Copies of this chain bind each other. A is one copy, B any other.
Amino acid sequence: MSFRNFKVVPRMVFGRGSFNQLDEILEEQRQTANDWVVFVVDDVHQDKPLKDRIPLHEQDMLLWISSKDEPKTTYVDELTLRVQAFHPGKDPVSVIGIGGGSALDLAKAIALMLTNEGGSASYQGWDLIQNPAVHHVGIPTLSGTGAEASRTTVLTGPIKKLGMNSDYTVFDQLVLDSELIAGVPKNQWFYTGMDCYIHCIESLQGTYLNEFSRSYGEKALDLCREVYIQDHSDKDEKLMMASLMGGMSIAYSQVGACHALSYGLSYVLDYHHGIGNCIAFNALEEYYPEGVVEFREMVKKHDIDLPTNITQGMSDDDMEKMITTAMKLPPLWENVYGPNWEQEVTRDKVRSLYEKM
Contacts and interface: CB of A to CB of B under 8 A. Distances in A.
A5 B11 contact: yes
A178 B9 CA distance: 23
A245 interface: yes
Contacts of A238: 211, 215
A237 B211 CA distance: 6
A8 B148 CA distance: 14
A234 B215 CA distance: 12
A198 interface: no
Contacts of A211: 14, 178, 234, 237-238, 240-241
B223 A14 contact: no
Interface residues of A, number: 37
Interface string A299-328: 000000000000000000000000000000
What is the total number of copies of this protein in its complex? 2
Interface in A232-252: 234, 237-238, 240-241, 245, 251-252
A8 B9 contact: yes
Interface in A1-36: 1-15, 17-18, 21, 25
A160 interface: no
What DSSP secondary structure best describes chain A's contact surface? mixed
A72 interface: no
Contact of A13 (B3, B18, B176): B3
A21 B2 contact: yes
Contacts of A352: none
A69 to B, nearest CB: 33
Contact of A5 (B1, B5, B13): B13
B7 A11 contact: yes
Nearest to A218: B219
Nearest to A17: B1
A8 B10 contact: yes
Contacts of A240: 211
A251 B240 CA distance: 16
B18 A12 contact: no
A211 B234 CA distance: 8
Contacts of A86: none
Given A3-B21, A5-B21, A14-B210, 13 more contacts: A3-B13, A3-B14, A3-B17, A3-B18, A5-B12, A8-B11, A8-B12, A9-B10, A176-B212, A211-B234, A215-B219, A218-B219, A219-B219
Interface of A: 1-15, 17-18, 21, 25, 173, 176, 178, 210-212, 215, 218-219, 223, 234, 237-238, 240-241, 245, 251-252
For the complex of A and B, list the 8 residue pairs with the smallest distance between their C-beta atoms, beginning with the closest.
A3-B15, A211-B237, A10-B10, A14-B212, A219-B219, A215-B241, A5-B13, A3-B18
